[in-house]
A and B are shown apart, each in its own frame.
Chain A
Amino acid sequence: DTAVSQTPKYLVTQMGNDKSIKCEQNLGHDTMYWYKQDSKKFLKIMFSYNNKELIINETVPNRFSPKSPDKAHLNLHINSLELGDSAVYFCASSPSFRGTEAFFGQGTRLTVV
C-alpha cells in the first residue's frame, strides 16, 4: 500500500541509451515532483507538475522529459544518457494546500556506465 511508488529502484545502463522511470501516487495529491540527489546527497528540484500541467522546470537539460498522463502519475524519460546523469532520482507528491510535507518515493538509483 505504498503512497508514492517508483519503478525501477535500480537502473544500470550504458551511455547514450534512453531510459524511463515511472512514478505513481495513491494519495490523491494534485502536485508531483522530480528531484535529483547527487553523489554529495544534495537534493535539487527538477520538475513540478500540478494537475498534469508542467509548472516548474529548473533549467534541466531537454534530454529529460517528464510526462504526466494523469495527476496520479509522473514519469521521467531521459534520452542520450550521460555519465553525469548518474544519481538518485526521487519522485514526490503533495496536496495543493500549505503546510503539508512532500511525500517521497523510495528513489531510483541510476548508474550510467
Chain B
Amino acid sequence: AQTVTQSQPEMSVQEAETVTLSCTYDTSENNYYLFWYKQPPSRQMILVIRQEAYKQQNATENRFSVNFQKAAKSFSLKISDSQLGDTAMYFCAFMNFTSGTYKYIFGTGTRLKVLA
C-alpha cells in the first residue's frame, strides 16, 4: 500500500526567508503524481503545486518549488520569500489509479507559521 510521510509536524520561518517542507512516500508504481496542498485557517484545501513522476524537471509555481527525487521517493516543497499569508497546514499527497479510480493519499501535514 502507498504511504506518505511528513516528518515535520510544525515549522516556523521568518517573513521573507526560505523554508523547506519534507515529504517522503512509498510506492511500487512507476507512474504517479504528487501534489502539495495548503490548508489555511479557513479550512479550504488549495492546490499549491503538482509534479508528474515521469518528468525529471522539478515543478515551480512562483515562490513555490519542489525538489523531486524519484529514486529516493522524496518530494519536498520550498517556499521562497515567505509571506504571512503562507501560514497554514501543508499536505503532501500522492495520486494513483487503483480499483478503477483515482485515489489521493495524504501525509499527516506540516503546520507552517510565518513570523513577522
Contacting A56 at CB < 8 Å: which of B43, B52, B91, B103? B103
Q: Which residues of B contact A102 (CB under 8 A)?
A: 95, 104
Give CA–CA (A102, B94) in the complex, Å.
11
Give CA–CA (A98, B54) in the complex, Å.
12
- Indicate if the CB atoms of A56 and B101 lie closer than 8 Å: yes
Q: Which residues of A contact B103 (CB under 8 A)?
A: 45, 48, 56
Give CA–CA (A31, B95) in the complex, Å.
13
Q: Cβ of B85 < 8 Å from any Cβ of A?
A: no
Q: Cβ of B115 < 8 Å from any Cβ of A?
A: no
- Indicate if the CB atoms of B52 and A107 lie closer than 8 Å: no
Interface of B is mostly: strand
- Residue tally, chain A, CB below 8 Å to B: 25
Residues of B57-103 at the interface with A, using a CB-CB cut-off of 8 Å, are 89, 91, 95, 97-103
Residues of B whose CB lies within 8 Å of any CB of A are 31, 33, 35, 37, 39, 42-45, 47, 50, 52, 89, 91, 95, 97-106, 108-109, 111
Can you name 22 A-B pairs with beta carbons within 8 Å? A31-B102, A41-B39, A41-B108, A41-B109, A42-B106, A42-B109, A44-B106, A45-B103, A48-B101, A50-B101, A55-B99, A55-B100, A56-B99, A92-B45, A94-B104, A98-B33, A98-B95, A99-B52, A101-B35, A101-B37, A102-B104, A104-B45
